[in-house]
Structure 1
């Protein structure tokens, strides 16, 4: 893991980092704090919360999330059964607090999702719900949707059941602590089962032709009085945990497709020309994609410690574009596939943090019980694609701006220094509307020893290691740029 600290304030010739971060909220129009009326509505929703008919507090659920997380959407308990496995997956019952047509419903539709900024988290729902009474905190009785998902010995999806109940999680694990214990063979039977089931689901994904893009993430995390940028590859237990969430979303999609009603997360298959170009790029980068391997199987063979193979994985990510939400409306199932998963799929496991999951859970439960679908739910589903597109664009823009800002802030005092870097994309001519006035578009690189990506000028082909000099790092403009001084 690459880990470079960025502390604030620092004696550097720039505006205060806290001020620059705060200004992002205004520049990108992030949601304001909840009004007194909304906070009061949350308090009333908690007071009005009813008891579900079912009680599953005897099941020893546990959660596994990033360290310090308080908005806990999911808890699980895993069993080995005669036919294979039984996954108990509890998802926070947000619809129990947020009723269709209520003020909380209206405000959450305006927000769309939780915004994660370095200086603070701007929650989708008031913290009383998202981080307290709606969160599946340990040793607290909480309302939840209880998914029961049967898998065979190879991890193939079988029967799926959904009920509304109450649970009590027994433990709150964090990824790094759980992974350390797992690696030390501390005997936690649930983590061993999670690894076993997760591995089998990854195999099923590759057999379907799906692909897990295991690219390093660039994250901003608190560090004492400031923040640090961290480039990290997801831990194995994170991947296995993600597979539990994904199989639940696949099960939810199957329920809704069977009923002919609902909303799915979709992605078109890569264009054949793009896929052929990708195959040629793998050959040029010295790691050709064998004809007898599926796309997902090939990606699973890549070693991201190799600069050329890291570039291949970055290129693979660009193949899958156009993720969207689609209402089920009589289309062939082939038009409703999430191509990276090679299966129909629905967002359903993060209702505290993402608007659409609340509606998917409510829809799936009504389908499971045979209850009629209310008109207001029909109307809401029609509005959700545009609401989610808008909120995702807004959240991604401010998140990228925060990373760009911190990159420039931490590197500004190192202008003139030289670094080793991997070229991700070469610089190239960008045609101008005026013929003969073409401009060179900068390339993109990633530093070898810092969690920094940036633009560069000069020669360098994808997958090559180059020596570069930092020539620009401007926190106010959120810009960072290098020049190639030597190719290795």
Structure 2
């Protein structure tokens, strides 16, 4: 599921710092790495498993936020007839981490990298994730080299993955790449990223898929008051994401054809989810015509418009219920990811997500016509449970942080009245539910003396806004 990321334009205020520490204690978010894990990482960094194939001739670049150091992916695209060849290098974590070693044991406990406004809790020690295993520029490193053939319509036609030595030429950031593309000064590979990205976005619309461009949230302080602003994704972020999705779909087909793998799956959303989102759209004054599907509606949203950005954040509920399905010998009956409208697997972020190390090894073996490594076969059935537990923690972490920030936005307005819309009503007590405010990107619990009018505009009074409890509560104004 996509996660909202909250940033602070200035230093995180002390009141939020204390709450963030409390959230980490409650959710048992790990602090520092144990000494034996760090020692193992230092040893591994000095002794990687190096492949024979050398593809340092490919002019890879990475595109990430400017402060990122855990670089999983490097890209190069070239024309191939009327289509394209996409080279996608993915960090080869298995070149540094061995099954059962201290790094592996600790990673299985963590599952994925967690993000908060004041710190990042990495999956692997920085000695690897931000150093030896990261695809930093001008460094020869082992990687999983995916080669994907894409036709003129944007459809993937062939895939190969193998271990290779690669070297990134530059550590680029989204804003800089977008500026160069807009100015017409970007190198051909990045111009082709735009071309392939646009084709893949069209393919996504045609199959009814959804890829949420979740905007980052930033808390801005002005004249002593806090406001929450949304940063819309740049077009190049969407095009770059399409390459990752293309690779994940190719991996899923590889594993399904080989009858062994781990898929990322999502059942179709229930009607109740749609009703809630329709009510949220109403609260934000965004039209959602009758008969328009989720995918069609989401493609009408412009994240540069604050109300639309808030709607996109609310739409992350569509991805709740996503899980992992491990299989061997028999392909699952329902392999599709409902939001993607296609089979899909996570393979492109092994520095930040545990399961990608397993799926990468499976795809390598299938492409080479070899047996999947014994350690992968023996442990792959454990991965769905590990990852689902980690996803729950990550989602709880995100919700707690967003709740903390929302409480902070209105903490000095207890007793004041606001306009909003009831977006959800408790099935056990229709006098309780959720309200979304019309003018501020805040939702909270609401109670009334009578059944709440689901989907209707209401006037509410703020009764509580507690940063420490991450609680915002309202009462219905009769």
TM-score, normalization: structure 1? 0.84
Aligned to 1:479: 471
Cα shift at 1:422: 5.7
Aligned to 2:431: 440
Give the match's secondary structure for 1:372. coil
Aligned to 2:165: 166
Residues matched between the structures, number? 464
- Asked whether the 8 Å contact 1:249–1:346 carries over to 2, the reply is yes
Aligned to 1:240: 239
Aligned to 1:366: 365
Aligned to 1:428: 425
CA distance in 2: counterparts of 1:265 and 1:113, whole angstroms: 15
Aligned to 1:288: 289
Cα shift at 1:481: 3.0
Give the match's secondary structure for 1:89. strand
Matched, 1:72 2:64: no
Tell me, which stretches of 5 or more residues in structure 2 are unaligned? 1-5
CA distance in 1: counterparts of 2:336 and 2:221, whole angstroms: 38
- Asked whether the 8 Å contact 1:149–1:160 carries over to 2, the reply is yes
Tell me the alpha carbon deviations over residues 13-71 of structure 1, each in whole angstroms, 9 at most, x when there is no partner.
xxx43222222221111123111111111111122213211111121111111220111
Once the two structures are overlaid, the 10-residue window that deviates more, 156-165 or 114-123, is 114-123
Cα shift at 1:94: 0.5
- Asked whether the 8 Å contact 1:422–1:462 carries over to 2, the reply is no
Cα shift at 1:375: 2.5
Matched, 1:195 2:194: yes
Aligned to 1:204: 203
CA distance in 1: counterparts of 2:396 and 2:319, whole angstroms: 19
Give the match's secondary structure for 2:260. coil
Once the two structures are overlaid, the 10-residue window that deviates more, 44-53 or 244-253, is 44-53
Aligned to 2:3: none
Q: 1:319 to 1:136 in 2, by over 3 A?
A: closer
Give the match's secondary structure for 1:442. strand
Cα shift at 1:151: 0.5
- Asked whether the 8 Å contact 1:430–1:440 carries over to 2, the reply is no
Cα shift at 1:246: 0.5
Tell me, which stretches of 5 or more residues in structure 1 are unaligned? 11-15, 432-437
Give the match's secondary structure for 1:145. strand
Cα shift at 1:217: 4.5
Q: 1:110 to 1:43 in 2, by over 3 A?
A: same
Q: 1:4 to 1:456 in 2, by over 3 A?
A: farther
Tell me the alpha carbon deviations over residues 79-104 of structure 1, each in whole angstroms, 9 at most, x when there is no partner.
12204011110000101001122221
Q: 1:417 to 1:188 in 2, by over 3 A?
A: farther
- Asked whether the 8 Å contact 1:6–1:410 carries over to 2, the reply is no
**RMSD after superposition:** 3.5
Give the match's secondary structure for 2:200. helix
CA distance in 1: counterparts of 2:238 and 2:275, whole angstroms: 28
Tell me the alpha carbon deviations over residues 195-245 of structure 1, each in whole angstroms, 9 at most, x when there is no partner.
21111111112222322334545467999xxx9854233222111111100
Tell me the alpha carbon deviations over residues 319-353 of structure 1, each in whole angstroms, 9 at most, x when there is no partner.
55421111124545651111111111110000000
Cα shift at 1:372: 2.1
Cα shift at 1:304: 6.4
Q: 1:306 to 1:412 in 2, by over 3 A?
A: closer
Q: 1:185 to 1:485 in 2, by over 3 A?
A: farther
- Asked whether the 8 Å contact 1:112–1:354 carries over to 2, the reply is yes
CA distance in 1: counterparts of 2:44 and 2:211, whole angstroms: 39
How does 1:311-460 map onto structure 2 within 5 Å?
318-319=317-318, 321-332=320-331, 334-416=333-415, 423=421, 425-426=422-423, 428=425, 430-431=427-428, 438=429, 440-446=431-437, 448=439, 450-456=440-446
Aligned to 1:434: none
- Asked whether the 8 Å contact 1:77–1:89 carries over to 2, the reply is yes
TM-score, normalization: structure 2? 0.85
